[in-house]
Every structure is written in C-alpha cells, then in structure tokens.
Amino acid sequence: MLEAARCIVVRDLLVAWRRRSDVATTLLFFVIVTSLFPLGIGAEPDLLRSIAPGVIWVAALLSCMLSLGRLFAADHADGTLEQLLLSSEPLGVIAAAKALAHWLVSGLPLVLIAPLIALQYDLAAPLYPVLALSLLLGTPVLSLIGAIGAALTLGLRGGGVLLSLLVLPLYVPVLIMGAGSVDMAAAGLAADGQLLLLAALLVVAAAFAPWAIAAALRISME
C-alpha cells in the first residue's frame, strides 16, 4: 500500500511539474490577493497588523480552493480514475496519496511564502513562526476536506460553484483557529490552544477524510 501511495504522489508531482502554469496560478493568486489589501486600505501600520492574520488565511483558503477542481478532473477525463477504482489497493489509500500530492503542490508553497507576505503588513517577527505553523497544520486539512467536495462534484456541470458551497462552511473552523492563533500570539497570549486544535483537526481529517473521498468517488463514478 505504501509503495502504491508513493507512486501516486510521485506521478501527481510529475504531472504538476509538467503543468507548472497551474501551480504558478495558485501561488500568484495568493500573492496578488494579499498584496491588494495594503494598497486598498492604506499604509496604517496598526490596521495592517490587525488584519494580517485574517487576510493571509482567507487568501490561502481561496488559493487552495482554486486548484481543487483539477484534483480528479484529469484522471477522470483520461480514464485513469476508473483504473484506480479497480485497483487491488484500498481506494482510501489512493485518495490520501492524491490529497497529499495536492497539498505539496498548492498548500506547501503558501506556507513557505507566507512569512514574506507578512512583511507587507508589518507583522512582528516573533509572529512569523506561529503564522507558518498554523498554515502548516491547517492547509492539509483544507486539502483533505476539499478533496471530498471535489470527488462529490466530479463531472457535474457547474461543479465549481457547488464545490465552493460544499466546502466553504467546513473550512470556517480551520480559518477561525488558524487566524486566531496568530491573533492570540500578537496579543501576548499563548497560541498553543488554537494550534493544538488545528493539530487535532488534522489528525481527524487524515484518519477519516480519505475514506470519505473514496466513497464520494464511487458515488460520482456510478
């Protein structure tokens, strides 16, 4: 099972490398959205520092959603997904591998670039590790939850709108705890509670979401 999962992750990363424009689109969207807010509301340092966690987290959430529609679409179009459904390996393991590859392509770059984006908002340097850690714990949850919605809306007309309606309400707890951890640290309080809740969400999502994705794929392919 581990070898099959590794092969799927490597394959999806190679496909993403050949379609670098798709990866660049997600990253550029994140950079552009976060850069527009300082230009739009002015250069008031206190205001920028207060909105920085929420803006960065909302931009990361929307950037992850931007690439969800492509998660299973290419495999569905060329028949690869049908072969994966017929594979002897558990479909949940395959789904987890595809969600991991999606996070490596669309989530991890956001984690790495977020501290640079925070410079625009005059965020205090001690808050950078908290911001990066919250994104590191939260963005995999976004990929796992989003993969469930992507599987359920696979092949539907107008699936992008329906996908947004399905996953956005489920993203709200991750958004609140992710941005809240940075706000707590900025207020001089311990951010451990929010970060531990994010870690708990990640554990729960990693345990149950792959099997929900597998069930959704079977429903969509029937």
pLDDT beneath 50, residues of the chain: none
Contact 114, 56 (CB under 8 A): yes
Write out pLDDT tens, residues 63-98: 988 888 778 887 777 777 788 788 778 888 888 999
Q: Which of 35, 220, 67, 91 lies closest to 143, judged by CA?
A: 67
Per-residue confidence (pLDDT) for residue 138, from 0 to 100: 94
For the chain, how many residues are written?
222
Burial of 206 (0-12, 13-18, 19+ CB in 10 A): middle
pLDDT score for 174: 94
Q: CB of 67 within 8 A of CB of 26?
A: yes
pLDDT at residue 131, as a whole number: 93
